[in-house]
Amino acid sequence: MTPESTPGTRDGQRSPSAVRTAEYPWIHADGRVTFAVPAPSARTVELQPGGHESGLAAGSTLPFTRGEDGLWILTVPPVRPGFYYYWLLVDGVPTNDPNTETFFGYGRPTSGLEVPDPGSDFHDLLDVPHGEVRTRWFHAATTGRWRRCLVYTPPGYDDDPGRRYPVLYLQHGAGEDERGWTMQGRANFILDNLLDRGAAEPMIVVMNNGYALEPGEVPATSGSIPELSERLLNAFGDLLVRDVVPMVDATYRTIPDRSSRALAGLSMGGRQALSVGLANPDTFASVVAFSAALFDPLDPETAFGGALADADAFNARTRLLWLSAGTGEQRFDEALTSMESVLAKQGIRHHTYRSQGTAHEWQTWRRSLHNVAPLLFRG
């Protein structure tokens, strides 16, 4: 262990994603991050970042150095604030870092690095009133199975039994699950902080698993992340509109009408939000897509069940269409530009946001939620 990588000898902090008893990952004051893992019997230990444009390391694996005590150490150059999936390769075999919490991504529990932003605390756990994140089990007729969803109720929800709330349905990306938006995305803290300063309408947020199977269908066990097929889109749409929305309206104190429902999602979930949301205007008046995984050119006459064909009708019935991407995720940024062009030409009212300097990563989506939430169910 080199002196400059020793925790406590320099300013810095443990990563907030570290487990309670771990001293690594250590984030130095200058933004460098030191990882360490005891592995006396390993021949090689490497860090592999999730994704191609990670702020943690640009797509390449980074080798640890073995110390005499069998502790392998890696210090990476300054990492920009945000959340990054990663895993270790121990003698080439993917494993989790024993020092961090796991986060469900890439279809499995995955290590995560949280790097705080000294200049911004919009997604931090602050000294403000906090809502609850409720785990609810419900039976879905569409899939013939019990499912689990997470429901954020805003601060004060239990205090005023007469008050009703609008609902944001919020979807994760491919390989993630219903836990992503709270564990990785900190959606609950983002909302808590906005609500504390009156910057958003108090709302319920419902987070579902974006994968849905037909009754009796067995999940694919390829070990890889399932593709977003038309079939998956349709199954999820049926689940959401036929099972989830009625269950939520029957269970929570919602305002049960289209103008008080929004559907949002990121990446795969962004495509789901556009496809399901725009094709079901009787259910959702607002549709929000972060880094939507939608790369084919839009035909404005046929896309989303023809929802865009009549711009006047669309603009009259749509409360908000809001799209975003990070400037560091080229493919998704270009897809957004392409979509903006089609929508503008068609005369479809919409809003866009670009997260500066972030890629296909949670910081893009946290910022997107933070930017769109104040616009929902208002004005």
List of residues contacting a copy of itself (CB under 8 A): 19-23, 37-43, 90-96, 98-99, 101-102, 104, 107-109, 125, 127, 130, 132-139, 146, 158, 161, 177, 182, 211, 219-226, 251-252
324: nearest Cα among 315, 316, 333:
333
With DSSP H G I counted as helix, E B as strand and the rest as coil, what are the percentages for the chain, rounded to 5?
A: 25, 30, 45
H-type alpha helices, the chain: 180-183, 187-196, 230-238, 245-251, 268-272, 278-279, 303-306, 311-317, 330-346, 362-372
276: nearest Cα among 146, 169, 190:
169
Length of the chain: 379
What's the min distance (Å) between Cβ of 318 and a copy of itself?
Answer: 32
Distance in angstroms (rounded) separating the CA atoms of residues 89 and 64: 10
Cβ–Cβ < 8 Å for 97, 111? yes
What's the min distance (Å) between Cβ of 298 and a copy of itself?
Answer: 30
Please give the helix or strand (H or E) that residue 206 lies within, else none: strand 204-208
Positive or negative CA dihedral for 39, 45, 49, 55?
Answer: positive
- Nearer to a copy of itself among residue 3 and residue 223 (C-beta): 223
What's the min distance (Å) between Cβ of 90 and a copy of itself?
Answer: 5
- Nearer to a copy of itself among residue 137 and residue 230 (C-beta): 137
What's the min distance (Å) between Cβ of 52 and a copy of itself?
Answer: 21
- Nearer to a copy of itself among residue 137 and residue 296 (C-beta): 137
Count of C-beta atoms within a 10 Å radius of residue 130: 17
- Nearer to a copy of itself among residue 43 and residue 197 (C-beta): 43
What's the min distance (Å) between Cβ of 165 and a copy of itself?
Answer: 13
What's the min distance (Å) between Cβ of 217 and a copy of itself?
Answer: 12
Count of C-beta atoms within a 10 Å radius of residue 323: 26
- Nearer to a copy of itself among residue 68 and residue 158 (C-beta): 158
Please give the helix or strand (H or E) that residue 171 lies within, else none: strand 167-171
Tokens of 13: 């902090």
Q: Which residues pair with 123 in a beta bridge?
A: none
- Nearer to a copy of itself among residue 252 and residue 322 (C-beta): 252
Dihedrals phi, psi of 337, to nearest 5 degrees: -60, -45
What's the min distance (Å) between Cβ of 119 and a copy of itself?
Answer: 21
Rg (CA), the chain: 22
173-to-36, 147, 202 alpha-carbon distances in Å: 29, 18, 25
Distance in angstroms (rounded) separating the CA atoms of residues 81 and 363: 8
What's the min distance (Å) between Cβ of 97 and a copy of itself?
Answer: 9
182, with CB counted inside 10 A (0-12, 13-18, 19+), is middle
Q: Locate tokens 């995984």: which residue? A: 293
- Nearer to a copy of itself among residue 147 and residue 354 (C-beta): 147
- Nearer to a copy of itself among residue 45 and residue 233 (C-beta): 45
What's the min distance (Å) between Cβ of 167 and a copy of itself?
Answer: 15
What's the min distance (Å) between Cβ of 20 and a copy of itself?
Answer: 5
- Nearer to a copy of itself among residue 42 and residue 167 (C-beta): 42
- Nearer to a copy of itself among residue 252 and residue 377 (C-beta): 252
